[in-house]
Amino acid sequence: MQLRLISWFFITLNLMEYIGTQHASRVRRQGRMHPNVSQGCQGGCATCSDYNGCLSCKPRLFFVLERIGMKQIGVCLSSCPSGYFGTRYPEINKCTKCKADCDTCFTKNFCTKCKSGFYLHNGKCLENCPEGLEPNNHTMECTSIVHCEPSEWSPWSSCTKKGKTCGFKRGNETRVREIVQHPSAQGNPCPATSENRKCIVQRKRCQKEGKGKKNRDEKGKRPNKEESRETRQENKGRESRRQNREQRENKNKMQPKKRKAQDKQQNPVPISTVH
């Protein structure tokens, strides 16, 4: 009975020593992996170390590794820096670096802005744009080729020669059009926007300035065809009354002269004789 108790005592003692040895080795491994681990970190870190910086971040912050020389330091940020994209996981939110030709990206395989010398097309950065597209050096994207688009021709102008429309038989007439859509760098160029052609007209003399003005004045004095019948009759009556008044005035002026002539005929002046 005593031997059994002694054997149980040694077994229990050995078991306790084994458990203590395992715990000490676990602590030593944690110390080698994260030396000087601290819970009172700053800058959004949940846990950190003096050598590696942040080891984990507070909720909603992104964990990113920044290289300083040969050393990488963990940092916690509210958003990922340029050249990285953020991914949220249940255990950690981390920033992952974009591809080498990508300046900013939404995911690892979808770029939103390319580095210099590359053109963006469907989320990828290309050195040369696909067929049917051209590089846009302003936006650094592959865009569709735009061809020139002119408007319809205007009607032909009047036939002229040296700025005149009379005094000649052969002249020139012109028509024009506008550019509705200008072409891109590789688009078809724009055609001509004006055309001239020879024209033949019935020759007519150019009116002189004075004669033309006189004709215009006479034309202005002519009665308007659109005047009403009453207006024309009123104008005729006014004209006839004016003519009758002039005839009466002329008749009254002629009556004194006739009376003097009649008096001279009835009462001749006596001729005196010289002795």
What pLDDT does 250 receive?
Answer: 77
**63-67, 220-224, 264-268: segment of lowest average pLDDT:** 220-224
- The model's confidence at residue 169, banded by pLDDT at 50, 70 and 90, is confident
One-letter amino acid of 150: P
- The structure's pTM equals 0.46
Higher pLDDT, 225 or 204: 204
Task: Provide the percentage of residues in the chain whose pLDDT is more than 90.
Answer: 32
Q: Just give the CATH number of 148-206.
A: 2.20.100.10
Tokens for 227? 């005047």
Hey, what CATH topology would domain 105-144 get?
2.10.220
Segments making up each domain of the chain, as ranges? 41-97, 105-144, 148-206
- The model's confidence at residue 23, banded by pLDDT at 50, 70 and 90, is very low
Hey, what CATH topology would domain 41-97 get?
2.10.220
Asked if 156 and 173 count as a contact pair (C-beta separation under 8 A), the reply is yes
Question: Among all chains, which residue has been given the structure tokens 């290309």?
Answer: 126
**61-65, 105-109, 164-168: segment of lowest average pLDDT:** 164-168
What pLDDT does 31 receive?
Answer: 42
Cα torsion at 121, 126, 128, 129 (round to 10°)? Answer: -10
Asked if 45 and 53 count as a contact pair (C-beta separation under 8 A), the reply is yes
Per DSSP, 223 falls in state P
Asked if 63 and 93 count as a contact pair (C-beta separation under 8 A), the reply is yes
Give yes or no on whether 41-97 and 148-206 have one common fold.
no
Task: Provide the percentage of residues in the chain whose pLDDT is more than 70.
Answer: 69
Tokens for 45? 């870190």
Whether residue 194 is predicted with pLDDT greater than 80 in this model: the reply is yes
Taking residues 228-245, report their average pLDDT.
76
Among 23-27, 146-150, 162-166, 206-210, the range of highest mean pLDDT: 146-150
What pLDDT does 178 receive?
Answer: 95
Higher pLDDT, 132 or 208: 132
CA distances from 171 to 12, 177, 206, 208, 268 (A): 127, 21, 15, 21, 82
- The model's confidence at residue 271, banded by pLDDT at 50, 70 and 90, is very low
Taking residues 146-170, report their average pLDDT.
89
Taking residues 170-187, report their average pLDDT.
93
Asked if 169 and 160 count as a contact pair (C-beta separation under 8 A), the reply is no
